[in-house]
Structure formats: C-alpha cells, structure tokens
Chain A
C-alpha cells in the first residue's frame, strides 16, 4: 500500500480526494491537512510515500514552496501538485522544485488516480503547457515570459517604481513591457489588463 497525504484547504475537494484514495484499494490515506506549511512536520515521523499538494492552501501558504522544502529534506517522497489555477508559472516552478507530477483539477484529461499510479510507477506526468487563456484580443501564449512576470507584479497594485525595484529593472523597461502588453491585448488601461489577468488566474502573485 502507498501512504498518501492530502494537502487541500477546501473541504469538498479534500473529501473527494479522500474518498478516491480510500476506495482505490491500493492507496492508504495517512493524513489529510489544510496547510501546506505543516506538511513538512508530518513527513518527519511518518512514512509518507505520496503527497497530493494543492498550490493555494490555508492561511495563504504556498504548496509549491512547501513541496520544494519537502523534496530537499525527503527526496524519496513523491509529490503531485494539484491545482485549479491556470497560472502559467506553476508548471515551471514545480519542475524546478523537483516535483514528480502536475495535475490540473479542471483541465487535465487523465483522472487523478491514473496520475497517481503513473507517478508511483516512476513516471513524471506533466501537462504540455498551462491552459491558454484569452486576454483581450490576445492569447496568454502571445505574451513573453518577461511580460508575464511584469504582469504578475502589476496585479499587486504597486507603482512602476516599486515594481521596477522588486524586479531589478529600470522604470522605463517596466513601462515598455506594460505598453507592449497593452498593444497586444488591446486594453486601454493597465488596470483593465491587470484585473483581467488576475480574474482569469493567468498570473497569481501570492503563492
């Protein structure tokens, strides 16, 4: 039996995962918790084999950050990131953290049990790319990586000066990227651009 820990802050999705794990016959539910930051504590004294880790968890704790720490301390534990957020950077961040698999709750064609089985069989299951989202007249894939980084910071509501300091860029460079995105998407203001980008979940700063 494979010991599974579920990290999910929403009650109903967590219960669905619990049912799936319990009814599978090949997985044992060890813990089911809400806060990703606490996951590391459970791994210290319990033989966790697989973690289903949500990205946005209780108290705003990031599942990606927690996964990175757990993989450093306990590299044998396999982790599947499960999320409904189409944030374009999550896949790359998960790969960089050494996470085995990545599953979109809403967009993936495979069921979570299939992904769990393949992951435990030694496969790394990742979607080809983040879902393409419509952003004004453009698709999210029309934006460059750097533009998406600036867009992510833009949703903070901070001024160009603050954003440029945080990104170690000049103010003019930040403004150039914003203008380029406005040209591509056809939005007439940076606020509209930021609101739509955040509403669609294309860029999320806090996790």
Chain B
C-alpha cells in the first residue's frame, strides 16, 4: 500500500511540474503567472510530502508518515487542490485560445507572414532585421554571401548575386534565379512605422510569369516579322497591279491587231473591194502604237522629271553634288522640296535658276535649295506648302530649315534608306 502511495505521489509531482513547464511555454505575460502560481502550491505540497515520505522510511523498510505541515493536510485535499489547478488551467487555456483567434499579436503576425507565398522582411534603416518570414529567410540564407543577415547589404548585393540568365535585371526590381530553378523578383519599399523609417523587402516567385513573358516576347518577334513581310507584300502588290495594267493594255493592242487583220483579210477576199480608208486608218493606229512601244524609253528618272518641269517654266536646275537616285524614299523628299522651291522661285522671285547643293554622308542626305531671283522683302512665314513639306520630312526622321534673308534658302537633312553610315 505504501509503495502504491509512493508511486502516486511521484506521478502527481511529475504531472504538476510538467504542467508548469507547459504553461510557461504556452501562456503569455500575466496569464503565465496566473496559471503557474496556483499550480505551484499543490506541487510544492506534494513535493514536501514526497520528501517526508522518503526520508521517514526506516532502515527496516517500514514506511510511516512523518508529522509536519504537509502531513497535516488530508490526502484528498491535495487531490482536490490539484484538480482545481487543472480546472483553472483549462479555463486559462480556453481564454488564451479565444484571445489568439481574435487578437493580432507578434506571434500571429509571424505565423501569418510565414504562410505567405511571397518572401517578406522588414528592417530598420540600417538593415537590422525586424521580421523575416520563412521564404525570405530561406532566400537570404541561399543568396547571402557573408554571415549574418543585414537586409540593406542583402538588397544591395542582389544585382551582383546569382543572376538570372540572361541578366536583364534592373536596379529597381532585381530578378534572381535560385538553385531550384525558380526566379524571384525582389522589390524594396521604404515605409514609415510609428514615425520611424522601415525598409520593406518583398520577393515574389515570378517563374511562371517569366516563362509567359518569354513566350510573349517570342510571339511578338514572330508577329513583327509577319508584319514586316506584310508591309513588303503591300509594296510588291503595287508593282503587280502595274504589270496587270500593262498586260491589259497589251491585250487591247493584240485585239486591235487581230481586228485589223480580219478586216484586211475580208477586204482582200472580196471580188470588188470597196473603200479601204477605214482599214488603212486601223493599221496606221496599230503601227503607231507598235512604233512607240518599240522606241519606248524607260522611266525618265527622278532628276529628269524635275529638270523637265523646270524647263517647262523657264528655270534651269544647277546641281552641285550627287542626288540619292537609288534611294526612292529620300529622292521623293528631295524632289518634293525641289518642286516647292521651284514653284516659289517662279511665283515670288521670278528666278531663272534653281541651285541644288546635295551631299550624302554618314547615312544622311543634306540638300540645300536656293535661287537667283529677287530676295524676299521680309521674313517668310511657312504656308501650306512649306509646312506640309516640313511635316513629311520630319515624319521620315529628317529636319528642315528655312532662311529668308538675305536670300531664301531651304535645307533638308534626311536619313537614307539604309542609314548605315557607309554612303
């Protein structure tokens, strides 16, 4: 019986102290004291009784109860106190649980931060960490070079750390590939908490986004190539349409020739041929067309078009330098500028010569126009023609300057089609 009581005592003492340790770990602040103090009383009583029990065991092995304060209390009262302590603890645990579910505490913030799918940390302005969540802590451990975690040093080391390949990171949002192949995009935000500067660092897993962006880039490249082909196709269609037009004209001539041959054959087959005037007229018409076709010269060329027009209005073109005749886009702008200067020279200056100075260098064509006519009486205000020309020159990536006095001069500076600077 005594041994049974001994074992019971030992179990009670063990359970009370175990309870105290658990309470210390689980409860917080004042609740810890409220929970521990009542538990300490029965624990101490039980401990004292156990000591007495052990010390008063005689050498013969007979067990008896020593006298003293602890032994004065009946055993049932000790059990009662232990039960009350347990009940009190259960009550406090219930309060704690309810409190935890409805109150934001340091621990709950940490727990929540750990559950985030992104990395998060806060630090002082010197980089001393205030809070790390689990993901950011792991990232810091993997990516930091030295010992210890200084958030500021970690942030500054990111653009030079384990870079994504190819490295297209920016200083604002560095992207880093970790050993597991995932790509993390970091961002820093300087905030103020309770009037104190705090650095907030976030890391977002952008692996999927990165793959999608890469896919989108590839698709855009393919689309740009397709659009370029479409643009080229549009230009080749113009040529095709011209050829079709030419073919239609040739077919008309072929039909006219066929009609003339039939009419001639019919005329010759008659026993008493009549008037052949109409047939002769048809042949004259066809022969005239064929002669023109045989002697048809290719396109006059852009500069010839200009000199012909100038000659028609009594102006001679004096060219110095070489015009970019092989570059249709540049030549078109040169010709438009020349035409504008030519009309102004004839209308307002009564000029007989139009001077064109052309120079091609470093992938650009620079052309100046002036005339030998009467200088303008005042500063020329750009009207419809000149302003329209300026717009077209600027749309082509060029620039235009006009000088009114002492002599009107117009200068355009336009890129060549290749613009490779080897001209």
Contacts A13-B246, A157-B227 given: A56-B347 contact, CB under 8 Å? Answer: no
Q: Mark A88-123, 1 if CB is under 8 A from B, else 0.
A: 000000000000000001100000000000000000
Contacts of B313 in A (CB 8 A): 41-42, 44-45
Q: Do B299 and A106 touch (CB < 8 A)?
A: no
Is A29 among interface residues, defined by CB-CB distance under 8 A?
no
Contacts of A198 in B (CB 8 A): 233-234, 237
Contacts A58-B299, A158-B227 given: A45-B346 contact, CB under 8 Å? Answer: yes
Q: Do B299 and A9 touch (CB < 8 A)?
A: yes
Is B102 among interface residues, defined by CB-CB distance under 8 A?
no
How near does chain A come to B108, taking the closest CB pair, in angstroms? 45
State A13–B289 Cα separation when bound (angstroms): 11
Contacts A11-B296, A156-B231 given: A42-B312 contact, CB under 8 Å? Answer: yes
Is A75 among interface residues, defined by CB-CB distance under 8 A?
no
State A78–B237 Cα separation when bound (angstroms): 30
Is A201 among interface residues, defined by CB-CB distance under 8 A?
yes
State A48–B377 Cα separation when bound (angstroms): 31
Is A147 among interface residues, defined by CB-CB distance under 8 A?
no
Contacts of B314 in A (CB 8 A): 45
State A41–B342 Cα separation when bound (angstroms): 8
Contacts A11-B296, A38-B339 given: A157-B289 contact, CB under 8 Å? Answer: no
State A175–B342 Cα separation when bound (angstroms): 45
State A13–B246 Cα separation when bound (angstroms): 7
Is A194 among interface residues, defined by CB-CB distance under 8 A?
yes
Interface positions of B from 233 to 284, Cβ below 8 Å from A: 233-234, 237-238, 241-242, 244-246, 248-250, 252
Identify B332's interface contact among A11, A18, A44, A59, CB under 8 A.
A59
**17 CB-based A-B contacts, threshold 8 Å:** A9-B242, A10-B246, A10-B249, A11-B298, A11-B299, A15-B296, A16-B249, A19-B289, A19-B292, A35-B335, A41-B342, A41-B346, A44-B346, A44-B347, A59-B328, A105-B245, A159-B227
Residues of B within 8 A of A (CB): 223, 226-231, 233-234, 237-238, 241-242, 244-246, 248-250, 252, 285, 288-289, 292-293, 296-300, 302, 305-306, 308-310, 312-314, 328, 331-332, 335-336, 339, 342-343, 346-347
Residues of A within 8 A of B (CB): 9-13, 15-16, 18-19, 23, 31, 33-35, 37-38, 40-42, 44-46, 56, 58-61, 84-85, 105-106, 155-159, 191, 194-195, 198-199, 201, 204-206
